Amino acid sequence: MSGRVFGLDSQFLFDALIMAVAMLVLFTLLSYILFNPVRELLKKRKEYVEGNINAALSDKEEAAKLKEEYDNKLANVEKEADEILSDTRKKAIKRENEIVDEAKAEANRIISRANKEAELEKSKVKDEVKQEIISVAKEMAGKLVEVSIDEKKQMSLIDETLEEMGEGTWQN
């Protein structure tokens, strides 16, 4: 052993230096060949993910706006439905009142017609009663003329005739 501690000789150092340079060149080449495309791929992937996240946030904001619009429209639809129902109820009540008024007017016409018919019938009955009274009076007068009787007998004859006719007919 000649004083070498590690056994370094010039050939070994030269081989080590060439190996180090070769590794450096290989690392640089591999860096450009492999690492840069991987970096580009990762960069593109990162941009893609960020784009998707931004699109998702944008879609979420748009969905929130649409939801708010739909909620407003739904509230308006409910108000419109309430208004339509209210208008329909008012129209139904108005129509009901019209029908009731028409029915009352028709009832009044019927009652008026019935009253007129009753008045006509009453007048007709009165005329018939008058005719009957006249005929009875003629008959009584004929009997009185035929028989001259005293006043007592005449009054009893009138009373008898009136009883035959009935007091209700005579008083009407």
Residue 2 inside a domain? The answer is no
Reading phi first (left if > 0) and then psi (alpha if -120 to 50, else beta), residue 7 is in left
Residue 74 inside a domain? The answer is yes
Residue 25 inside a domain? The answer is yes
Q: Are 126 and 97 in contact (CB under 8 A)?
A: no
Residue 125 inside a domain? The answer is yes
CA 169, chain centre distance (Å): 65
Q: How far is CA 87 from CA 90, 91, 96, 98, 126, in A?
A: 5, 6, 14, 16, 57
Please report, in tens digits, the pLDDT of each residue of the chain (172 residues total): 455 556 678 888 899 899 999 999 998 988 888 888 888 889 999 999 999 999 999 999 999 999 999 999 988 998 899 999 999 999 999 999 999 999 999 999 999 999 999 999 999 998 888 888 888 888 877 776 666 666 777 778 778 887 877 755 555 5
Structural domain span for residue 130: 21-171
Residue 103 inside a domain? The answer is yes
Residue 119 inside a domain? The answer is yes
DSSP 8-state symbol, 1: -
Report how many domains make up the chain: 1
Residue 83 inside a domain? The answer is yes
Residue 141 inside a domain? The answer is yes
